[in-house]
Amino acid sequence: MKRALALVLLAAAPAFGADPTLTAAERSRAQRLPHYATAGVRLPDGSVAYGNLVVAAYDDGRVRIEFSSAGGVQGDLALAAPELTDRGGLRSRFRAPSGPAARYANHGTLAVPGRGSSVRVVRSDLRVDEDGLFALDLEGTDPEGAAVVLAVFGRVLGTCWKDDAGTLKRVTDLSKRPDCQRLFGGL
């Protein structure tokens, strides 16, 4: 039942135009990562920390974006309303409502040096080109209510997981999971 729901949600996700989702400058920045990283994170102070970003799809229908980098930057958020292109691109946007309701509408958390480990994500915009290059713009609020803005970029990794008697196992044959084939088949 959960798997069928995930398939319906992904099938219902609207396709957007075939135009590239990243600008030339964003593509260039994503391509210039050091050999040991798949992602870079531009911090609020302007410095860049390098690490990895993974889009993880689970057989219960959840799709998460998880990233970490040097210096203790980490993020874990839901993939909100994915829009897929016919060529394999992906876009996902989230914006929490204004005012006090934003406190209950966040869809993930960040750990940012100097800001703590409980920064609530209140806005995100993920754009992935068909070749796997991505740009993820994040805005969060720290426990004191101050805005925290991050720009994550690089080449996305996609993994698909299934629960096998309580143990998570990686799905290696995407043809057995149409939801994963649709999300990651172009990467």
Lowest-pLDDT range, 34-38, 43-47, 174-178? 174-178
Portion of the chain with pLDDT greater than 70, in percent: 86
pLDDT reading at 44 higher than 50 = yes
- What's this model's pTM, rounded to 2 decimal places? 0.79
Which pLDDT belongs to residue 1? 37
Provide the pLDDT for residue 152: 94
CB 50 within 8 A of CB 71: no
- Give 158-176 pLDDT, tens digit per residue: 778 888 888 878 787 777 7
Euclidean distance between CA atoms 70 and 25, whole angstroms: 24
pLDDT tier for residue 16 given thresholds of 50, 70 and 90? very low
Give the mean model confidence (pLDDT) for residues 26-54. 92
Q: How many residues are listed for the chain in this entry?
A: 187
Q: How does residue 14 score in pLDDT terms, banded at 50, 70 and 90?
A: very low
Q: How far apart are the C-alpha atoms of 6 and 74, rounded to whole Å? A: 26
Assigned token pair, 64: 């998460």
